[in-house]
Amino acid sequence: MKILAISGSARLNSTNTAMLRAIRAIAPSDIEVSIFDGVGRLPVFSPDLEGEWLPEAVRDFIDVIAQSDGMIMASPEYVRSIPGGLKNAIDWLVSGDEIVHKPIALLHASHRGDDMLAGLRTVLSTITDRFAGDIFLRLHLMKLEPAEVWKAVEAAENRSRVQAYLQAFSAYCMADNKIA
């Protein structure tokens, strides 16, 4: 099972990115998590650049999505909304085939950010018919440094929550029927 974990933060010491990296390290052995932390490297979306003009960074991004069995996504909230970089990354996917039936679930590294989560749920359930709205993990990691995030994720209680989350999403990816 190959899961692509996308961070919506372009920040070097991002709690969301650190959380995804820590989750990769404790994933069950049959679940391979890879990280995409490059939303800040994608050019601004324009339909004029699709098709034969597709920028290389975008092609690489679409390729890793195509190779995954499912995607998980974690993002900060900016001004009560989805950060521009993540929304831009999603916009690049909308006219392609790779996202249409891709299982996607959310996780979140903060006790805040519910407006962003609501917006992201609307967007993701629009671009794929396999958005797993019921599969969600929230860890309270806001303002922590990456080393502190790792420590918190690896703590026994969170470790079992992370593993249950990944197992639930893995089962969802394998199932033919939607559960969300």
Ligand X SMILES: Cc1cc2nc3c(=O)[nH]c(=O)nc-3n(C[C@H](O)[C@H](O)[C@H](O)COP(=O)(O)O)c2cc1C
Residues that bind ligand X (CB under 6 A): 9, 11, 14-16, 76-80, 109-110, 112-113, 142
Q: Output 9 or 158, the one with its CB closest to ligand X.
A: 9
Q: Output 31 or 144, the one with its CB closest to ligand X.
A: 144
d(CA 135, CA 72): 10
d(CA 35, CA 12): 14
d(CA 70, CA 54): 23
Pairing of strands 2-7, 70-74: parallel
Q: At what angle do helices 15-26 and 146-154 cross, to 10 degrees?
A: 40
The closest residue (CB) to ligand X is: 76
Q: Nearest distance from residue 80's CB to ligand X, in Å?
A: 4
Q: Output 10 or 99, the one with its CB closest to ligand X.
A: 10
Q: Nearest distance from residue 169's CB to ligand X, in Å?
A: 20
Q: Nearest distance from residue 18's CB to ligand X, in Å?
A: 8
Q: Nearest distance from residue 101's CB to ligand X, in Å?
A: 28
d(CA 164, CA 86): 26
Q: Output 70 or 76, the one with its CB closest to ligand X.
A: 76
Q: Output 2 or 80, the one with its CB closest to ligand X.
A: 80
Q: Nearest distance from residue 9's CB to ligand X, in Å?
A: 3
Q: Which residue has the tokens 């050019």?
A: 43
